[in-house]
A and B are shown apart, each in its own frame.
Chain A
Amino acid sequence: MIQPFTPEPIRFVAEDGTPVQPLPARFTPELLRELHALMLRAREFDRKLITLLRQGRTTFYAQSSGMEATQVGLARSIRVGHDWVWPYYRDHTLGLAMGVPMAELLSQCLGTNSDSSRGRQMPHHFAAQAQNFVSISSSIASQVPPAAGNAMAQKYLGVDELTVCTFGDGATSEGDWHAGLNMAGAAKAPAMFVCENNQWAISTSIREQTASETIHIKAKAYGMPGYYVDGNDIVAVMEVCAYVADQIRAGHGPALVECLTYRVGSHSNADADAEKHYRTREEVEEWLGRDPITRVEKLLEHLGHPVSAEERAALIAQTHREVDEQVLKAEATGQPDWRIMFEDVYADLPGHLRDQEAFLRAEQTGQNGQGGRA
């Protein structure tokens, strides 16, 4: 039985890989291997993107290394393409595990013609219509009230979908976060709010972020259950998220899930040396010792189905190959030209944008010697 408001994070598997409570039957070695492969794929995607960044082929990157159990576990607890997701900018592992093609994620990071967002957003702000993975905004917590509205629409339409909304710990200090949870609570909307508490908002620690003992207890104020989960234990994440999703689908209204995890990398490439400036190497080492991928490997070992070094190396090599191939493919489509600036501002092209497009067309095709403006 999954309980809200537990004093300690709900956990199924200890850091040494031994179950601390009976492993639910669905976690067969086959499923665990599949989850392990998804997590490792995301970890390697992370590493490859940093290489691409250093090569100057992309300009921004927000790692989710260390947070794979949270994001893969969440992805595997919802009905992809049926439920809706309002994610935040550190969710590529969630996207990958939901089946957003790697090609699509890479295209977005590279801003190529193959990017379904058409090169309009900085890297790591994905959107994937087929998965109902809604376009990401950089503005922290601004996805929370819309997620409440998305869930209210689902309730209005009488569909059995739910809305997932993710955010980091920093987002919980924003007014919009509280506004959105309050709205969802008052409307009893089918929304699952998931805090990926990685304990750092750039350089601000969770201790500076809030005087609240935890994030999940804030749910109480909005009339919804709050669950506290070991976000590095994929079994716990999936057990809690699946349970919460069922509760929401059964009409019990929204819920908040806090997954306690850790951002082992920097905030982004613009924050490259976190340990030099604001946190200790000891802290990072401590959390590296709680690595979610290692934990599944230890669990599989405990169950007598270890992932061999060769299998692991093969998975890594396969991901690197996949990234390399998809990057070349995406780059071969070229970059969108100036025309994309004026499309999708509105459904139509109003007169002032027609004028400005004509001005830029002339400038870009060398027919405008006048300067001035449209």
Chain B
Amino acid sequence: MTATQERTPTQGTDADSGARTINLIQAVTETIAEEMERDSRVVLFGEDVGARGGVFMATAGLQERFGPRRVFDTPLSEASIVGAAVGMAVRGLRPIAEIQFADYMGPGFDQIISQAAKIRYRSGGQFTAPMVIRTPSGGGVKGGHHHSQSPESYYTHTPGLKVVMPSTPYDAKGLLRSAVRGEDPVIFFEPKRLYRAAKGEVPAHDYVVKFGEAAVRREGTDLSLIGYGGVMPDLERAADALAAEGVSVEVIDLRSLVPWDKDRVLSSVEKTGRAVLVSEAPRISNFMGEVAYVIQEQVFDSLTAPVGQVAGFDTPYPYVQDKVYLPGPNRIVAACVRALNY
């Protein structure tokens, strides 16, 4: 297992190991810079990523550092941004494309599903598109539905794409490195409400987080609480609350949806006998439905309660009631209690 336990934020730089405490958006920015330093084929583009440094400042300073040839603003067209990334990748570059909000991937959707996801397969491997689409997703920033949605399930439903979502600075760095260095198109979701809220230590040395490996955030014996992305701090809070009541919860961060770490999840549920799956995406066709299916199919005999799910509601993401819409620790605790009392 890859135990990337999230550590408590410490006091900045650790002189011995070179480890530093940074936030998630800093992790993104510095990893892009490191990859651009490492490989001249890496280029970065999107809407307002250049002089402006991105609307969230995820690419701040990169155009200044690498020049407008490698870091540039594009026309306001997601189809062009994704499509151009496909063409660049086919011709031998390693493009990192930013889609300003995951909610705006729509115009680029056909480029993702018809071109990026299929070119390797349909050409028998003659042409490939190793590329990364970075995009902020998720709610909690008072953005209404067009700045808050969690559309990851659309992409997990398309063979040929890899889909990941970090919730810590450590994972943001490790997963982004894997994405840029990999050979396949990757949709890299960045949970925007954790950009500055998620702080954690990152080592100075080069490391990757492999796709398809979940992280066990805390070990436990009574229930497996499984999530990814923006909800992870709520899972921790829920586990804390349950721990205070003497319940031992195992918290797992999937980190990577396609591929996902079936073995880690199943061995945890076999041990605890209970699973609660959490995401903030709408419930119907939610990726966690697949996880629930596999759990009941493969470790049915170990289950002492139905698999619980906490998800977003099947409504458009609301502006005013966004705190109510999001799962939150109380709703997660309630789902866990239902499973524990079954």
Contact = CB atoms under 8 A, between A and B. Distances in A.
B80 to A, nearest CB: 4
Contacts, number: 166
Nearest to A84: B91
B114 A144 contact: no
A338 to B, nearest CB: 15
B93 interface: yes
Interface in A136-151: 137, 139, 142-151
A57 B260 CA distance: 41
Contacts of B308: none
A146 B84 CA distance: 5
B248 interface: no
Nearest to A149: B87
Given A176-B110, A183-B80, A345 B88 contact: no
A143 B118 CA distance: 12
B124 A352 contact: no
Given A152-B87, A183-B80, A346 B127 contact: no
A40 interface: no
A144 B87 CA distance: 9
A146 B79 contact: no
Contacts of B70: 156
A351 B259 CA distance: 7
B53 interface: no
A139 B77 contact: no
Interface string A99-121: 00000000000000001111011
A127 B126 contact: yes
Contact of A153 (B92, B115, B258): B92
Contacts of B297: 372-373
B262 A135 contact: no
A228 interface: no
Given A116-B126, A135-B126, A152-B84, A350 B212 contact: yes
A186 interface: yes
Contacts of A143: 115
Interface residues of A, number: 50
Contact of B77 (A127, A129, A183, A351): A183
Interface in A162-178: 163, 175-176
B162 interface: yes
A348 to B, nearest CB: 8
Given A142-B115, A146-B90, A344 B120 contact: yes
Nearest to A145: B83
A156 B162 CA distance: 27
Contact of B124 (A117, A146, A147): A117
A179 B126 CA distance: 26
Given A121-B122, A149-B87, A157-B92, A346 B80 contact: no
Nearest to B74: A183
A117 B122 contact: yes
Residue of A84, A121, A143, A150 with most partner-chain B CB within 10 A: A150
B69 interface: yes
B182 interface: yes
A86 B118 CA distance: 15
B121 interface: yes
B84 A149 contact: yes
A225 interface: no
Interface string B70-85: 1000110101101111
B88 to A, nearest CB: 4
Given A145-B84, A146-B87, A182-B80, A127 B122 contact: yes
Interface in B170-204: 182-184
B160 A347 contact: no
A180 interface: yes
B127 A145 contact: no
Interface in B103-158: 107, 110-111, 114-115, 118-128, 130
Nearest to A176: B79
Contact of B122 (A120, A149, A179, A183): A120
Contact of A350 (B69, B115, B259, B263): B259
A154 interface: yes
A234 interface: no
A94 interface: no
B289 interface: no
A134 interface: yes
B77 A179 contact: yes
Contact of B182 (A152, A182, A347): A347
Contact of A135 (B77, B111, B127): B127
A39 B114 CA distance: 32
B123 A135 contact: yes
B39 to A, nearest CB: 13
B43 interface: yes
Of the candidates B91, B125, B128, the one having the most CB atoms from chain A within 10 angstroms of its own CB is B91
Give the residue among A121, A142, A179 with the most B Cβ atoms within 10 A.
Answer: A179
Contact of A145 (B79, B92, B260): B79
A117 B118 CA distance: 12
A137 B127 contact: no
B79 A117 contact: no
A38 B54 CA distance: 52
A129 B212 contact: no
A175 B107 contact: yes
Nearest to A138: B114
B183 A149 contact: no
B208 to A, nearest CB: 14
A116 B111 contact: no
Given A183-B84, A344-B121, A134 B90 contact: yes
Interface string B7-32: 00000000000000000000000000
Interface in A295-353: 343-348, 350-352
A139 B114 contact: yes
A90 interface: no
12 contacts: A117-B123, A118-B124, A134-B127, A146-B90, A149-B86, A149-B90, A156-B43, A157-B93, A175-B107, A186-B74, A345-B121, A352-B259
Identify the 7 closest CB pairs spanning chains A and B, nearest first.
A145-B83, A149-B87, A149-B84, A347-B183, A135-B123, A350-B259, A146-B87
Given A149-B87, A152-B88, A350-B259, 10 more contacts: A118-B124, A135-B127, A142-B83, A145-B84, A146-B90, A157-B91, A176-B79, A350-B212, A351-B259, A352-B259
